[in-house]
Amino acid sequence: MRFKFQGIPVTNRRTTAAALAGLMLFAAGPAMAAGLTAQEKKLVAASAAEEARSLALLEKLVNINSGTLNLAGVTKVGAILQDELKGVGFDVKWIPMEKAGRAGHIVATHKGSGRGKRMLLIGHFDTVFEPDSPFQTYVRRGDIAEGPGVNDMKGGLVIMIGALRAMQAAGTLKDADIVIVLTGDEERAGLPISVSRADLVAAAKTSDMALEFESLAREDGKDMASIARRSSTDWTIKVSAKSGHSSGVFGDGAGYGAAYEMARILDGFRREAREVNATFNVGFMAAGATAEINATETGAAATGKNNIIAGQAVAQGDLRTLSNAQTDSIHAKMKAIVDQSLVGAKAEIEFGEGGYPAMAPTEGSRKLLGKLNEVNRDLGLEPMAELDPLKRGAGDIGFVGDLLPGLIGFGSAGEGSHAAGETMDLKSLDRQTKRAALFMSRMAKP
């Protein structure tokens, strides 16, 4: 018997299945170019088929609190991810991080043909929302999902897994040489960094490129590509000075006090230490007869009176740069300014050990973006322009940015990361899964 299915003539069950597969490919992306091979068309269809499973996994992960300091929660989410990666044929290891005061990391390896590019996939499974946060639950409202870490970056994790599952289904994963490093402390790196990022750096040294699955950036409704991330390091200034009766301030005997010395230093930073693409912020400051930073480094307290010259001052802030060489340059400028003390005062500056290095833009990364835009073309997607690095924060890829080229932003689109009400645009799930799966499949070829 002959009949029609959605306008397609069908004569038996076998052709019905073929028609359905064809419809899946048609729905897989707008106006897909003829540049896709038969296997790549199968890959795109397999990517689309992952959406329902990915949504279920997303809800499961978001509803488990994995704030960085909730070691049990981080470990629980890590166990789920380990099972997912084992399911696509990865050799998976849990790396405990007790020495750094954190739960642990996942390092997963897939051996391919050895003929394509060796890929390092980077992500994290901790969030900024600890168990005492009132923001704890996944909620879906149409095409928007809300929940702690839904966009930063549990959405990126399900995209990564969905892409790998699609590659496995289409037969493109078998050739891919991939190592995955998922950290359990990206939002608050464990110390010493030499321990907490040792596995990430080691993986980079045996890879050809890095792909970070953190959030996709968008501007004016367009997907943007990131090939750079600025650094994030902290600094602390402490000033001690002669204290005494305020009537003697500015004199050769009493000097200027700690408050004026701190003001001189910070204004000197503003006037003399600035460089293009670099910013430094003063998070908090205090001055008085006594001044001290609190134990959690979330503020400071001061004591004193208006007729006493300030004997102590403290300030803390951050520095963000586009390259590690720029970090060194600004550190030198800041130190030189600190060393020019006013009469009666002495200041010192310390730069924190737990910061994130920069990933500077390189031609190698731009070439990878060119390859990604070939994928966009063949999926019928608009080309992705480079995002201004001033609009992107620091991340784990910065620890390996000097070792290999990379791309940032294979994760989900969304808004409000790190704040209650954080959301993910669920429409980006299918698009990003296809984009990642096709890009990695092509990179796996000789």
Shared domain for 65 and 197, answered yes or no, is: yes
Shared domain for 341 and 363, answered yes or no, is: no
Q: How far apart are CA 198 and CA 216, in angstroms?
A: 26
Confidence class of residue 355 from pLDDT cuts 50, 70 and 90?
confident
Q: How far apart are CA 443 and CA 52, in angstroms?
A: 27
The DSSP string of 147-208 is -TTIIIIIHHHHHHHHHHHHHHHHT-GGG-EEEEEEES-TTS--S-HHHHTHHHHHHHTT-S
- pLDDT of 21 over the 90 cut: no
pLDDT at 409: 97
3-class DSSP state of 432: helix
Q: What is the pLDDT of residues 233-258, one digit of tens each?
A: 999 999 999 999 999 999 999 999 99
Q: Which has more pLDDT, 301 or 19?
A: 301
Confidence class of residue 27 from pLDDT cuts 50, 70 and 90?
very low
Half-sphere exposure of 40 (CA within 13 A, CB side): 21
When pLDDT is averaged across residues 160-171 and rounded to a whole number, the result is 98
When pLDDT is averaged across residues 102-116 and rounded to a whole number, the result is 97
Element (H, E) at 325: helix 324-338
Output the pTM of the full model: 0.86
Shared domain for 264 and 314, answered yes or no, is: yes
pLDDT at 34: 59
pLDDT at 15: 36
Confidence class of residue 296 from pLDDT cuts 50, 70 and 90?
confident
Shared domain for 57 and 116, answered yes or no, is: yes
Within 8 A by CB and 6+ apart from 203, the residues are: 107, 120, 179, 181, 400
**Residue that terminates a domain, selected from 296, 322, 351:** 351
Tokens (6 digits) for 101: 């005061």
When pLDDT is averaged across residues 289-310 and rounded to a whole number, the result is 96
When pLDDT is averaged across residues 117-140 and rounded to a whole number, the result is 98
Shared domain for 43 and 186, answered yes or no, is: yes
Q: What is the CATH number of the domain that holds 75?
A: 3.40.630.10
Shared domain for 54 and 183, answered yes or no, is: yes
Q: What is the pLDDT of residues 328-345, one digit of tens each?
A: 999 999 999 999 999 999
When pLDDT is averaged across residues 137-148 and rounded to a whole number, the result is 98
Q: For the chain, how far is it from start to end, CA to CA, in angstroms?
A: 48
Shared domain for 138 and 25, answered yes or no, is: no
Shared domain for 93 and 215, answered yes or no, is: yes
Half-sphere exposure of 352 (CA within 13 A, CB side): 20
Shared domain for 224 and 242, answered yes or no, is: no
pLDDT at 19: 38
Q: Which has more pLDDT, 350 or 9?
A: 350
Shared domain for 177 and 241, answered yes or no, is: no
Q: How far apart are CA 278 and CA 319, in angstroms?
A: 7
pLDDT at 446: 87
Domain that holds residue 26: 1-30
Shared domain for 191 and 299, answered yes or no, is: no
- The structural domain count of the chain equals 3
**Residue that terminates a domain, selected from 300, 334, 351:** 351
Q: How far apart are CA 308 and CA 305, in angstroms?
A: 5
What percentage of the chain exceeds 90 in pLDDT? 89
**Residue that terminates a domain, selected from 326, 351, 376:** 351
Most confidently predicted of 3-7, 34-38, 143-147: 143-147
Q: What is the CATH number of the domain that holds 280?
A: 3.30.70.360
Average pLDDT, the chain: 92
- pLDDT of 36 over the 60 cut: yes
Indicate the range of 145-154, 170-179, 352-361 predicted with least confidence: 352-361
Question: CA separation (Å) from 290 to 91, 233, 313, 314, 414?
Answer: 56, 26, 7, 10, 44
Confidence class of residue 64 from pLDDT cuts 50, 70 and 90?
very high
Shared domain for 71 and 198, answered yes or no, is: yes
Confidence class of residue 33 from pLDDT cuts 50, 70 and 90?
low
Confidence class of residue 393 from pLDDT cuts 50, 70 and 90?
confident
Give the largest CA-CA distance in the chain. 108
